[in-house]
Chains A and B, each alone.
Chain A
Amino acid sequence: MTPTPRVKTFRIDGRDVVGREDQTVLEVARENDIRIPTLCHLDGLTDIGACRMCLVEVQGWGRLVPSCVTKPEEGMVVVSQSERLARYRRTILEFLFSERNHVCAVCVSNGHCELQDLAEEVGMTHVRVPYRYPGLAVDASHGRFVADHNRCILCARCVRVCGEVEGAHTWDVSGRGIQSLVITDLAAPWGESDTCTGCGKCVQVCPTGALTEKGHSVAEMSKRRQFLPYLATMREGRR
């Protein structure tokens, strides 16, 4: 029998909160209606702390930590909103926008994009670093889906949903740092992938217009994610 997880009492933004030791600071914050912005996090997938939007301050800790992969500790004092955090979050978003070619005006996901929404939420009105304008490919080899690397923010939700939920592990990340790309199989065109089941989960969880269904014009692509918490709950019950 697994022992019952311990309960931790701590503070977020001056409020006393209670969480289990196996939860994350982000989960406890959300249970208490404290909004911490996120981008790579998605309920039902393993958290990896990739996007750094959910960074929080913890009193006495010298560095900022991503709340999605930080466990509660007894008596810890968490700050989720501060001038410093707002500055970091805005800067991270500016880096994301400058790194590839996110042209919202002509994107199929315009108006249904988590990156675009966050920019608005944190009040990012312009990008202060030079844009890179990389020459990146669009893979339209699949019969029903498109992968547009120009709009990918490397959140790896596609990689996780494909491996953890669909069990196919078609997607992975190749390269390092700024050269990173999500790939299907061993960088084969998506349409030629031997492992892709064509389920489309990766498309639905993608926060931007990087993975989309064919046949949509500008602003027409909205994602359907209802399946994910449902599947996660069903599988938890079976364990």
Chain B
Amino acid sequence: MNRARLATVWLDGCSGCHMSFLDMDERLIALAERADLVYSPLVDSKEFPEGVDITLVEGAVSTDEDIEKIRHIRGRTKLLVSLGDCAVTSNVPAMRNPFPVVQVMERAYVENADIRQGVEFTGVLPRLLDRVRPVHEVVPVDVFVPGCPPPADAIHYVLDALLDGRQPDLTGQTRFGR
């Protein structure tokens, strides 16, 4: 059997979806028989490789770097899966959206700062976008798995279906805010 090439990425999220991924527990061993994890915050690969079959995306698109990353990944992935509410709805990261970025930065680094008050743009850190956006507003997404985080069972169900070449039906498996 051909082993599938699986990747996971972490944009603007809390890593809870990755924790939920790890919560698949012993099923991860069975998964490892069927797929290689070629890129992920959980493994030590620096470059997103070409020819990836399935990529799970955690997190919303919040910075110019996120946009670049997700476009790059989309180009190298057959099936892109929005994993969790941040990727699907933009969720908590987007709670800053009703406010201008400048106001958000000042809140964090001037009003609430004890030392070195002030906002500096050094060019080292990615720039925040005016608005945080769900992944599918930036690149086409093939499968949506809502949940905060999606339960391990739902992630397992989705991966199992996709590895079998089936389209997963998530009715009753997960929901927003779960």
Task: For B98, list chain A residues within 8 Å (CB).
Answer: 101, 133-136
| Known A-B contacts A105-B177, A111-B177, A134-B98; A125 and B92 likewise in contact (beta carbons under 8 Å) | no
**30 interchain pairs (CB within 8 A)?**
A101-B98, A102-B176, A103-B89, A104-B85, A104-B177, A105-B85, A105-B91, A105-B177, A106-B92, A106-B95, A107-B177, A111-B177, A111-B178, A119-B175, A119-B176, A120-B171, A120-B175, A123-B170, A125-B146, A126-B82, A126-B88, A126-B141, A127-B134, A128-B136, A131-B90, A131-B94, A133-B97, A133-B131, A135-B98, A136-B98
Task: Kindly state whether residue A143 has any CB partner on chain B within 8 Å.
Answer: no
From 108 to 143 in chain A, residues with beta carbon under 8 angstroms from any chain B beta carbon are 110-111, 116, 119-120, 123, 125-128, 130-131, 133-136
B172 interfacial contact with A, CB 8 Å: yes
Known: A101-B95, A105-B85, A126-B141. 7 other contacts (CB 8 A): A103-B91, A103-B94, A103-B95, A105-B176, A120-B175, A126-B144, A126-B146
Footprint of A on B, CB under 8 Å? Answer: 82, 85, 88-92, 94-95, 97-99, 131, 134, 136-137, 141, 144-146, 148, 169-172, 175-178
Q: Per a CB cutoff under 8 Å, which of B97, B134, B172 touches A126?
A: B134
CB-CB under 8 A from B170, the residues of chain A are 123, 125
B97 and A116 contacting across the interface, CB-CB below 8 Å: no
| Closest partner residue, chain B, to A133 (CB atom) | B97
Q: Which residues of A contact B175 (CB under 8 A)?
A: 104, 116, 119-120
List, in ascending order, chain A residues with CB within 8 A of B95's CB: 101, 103, 106
* Residues on A with beta carbons closer than 8 Å to the beta carbon of B97: 101, 131, 133
Select one of A107, A110, A126, A135 contacting B89, CB under 8 A: A126
Contact partners of B92 in chain A: CB under 8 A: 103, 105-106
**B88: A residues at CB distance < 8 A:** 125-126
**Cβ of A127 to closest chain B Cβ, rounded Å:** 7
What secondary structure prevails in chain A residues at the interface with B?
loop
Residues on the B chain within 8 Å of A134, using CB: 98
Which residue among B85, B89, B92, B145 has the maximum number of chain A CB atoms within 10 Å of its CB? Answer: B89
A128 to B136 alpha-carbon distance, docked (Å): 8
Alpha-carbon distance between A120 and B172 when the two chains are bound, in angstroms: 7
A127 in contact with B172 (CB, 8 Å): no
A-side contacts of B137, CB under 8 Å:
130
Q: Is the CB of A135 within 8 A of B177?
A: no
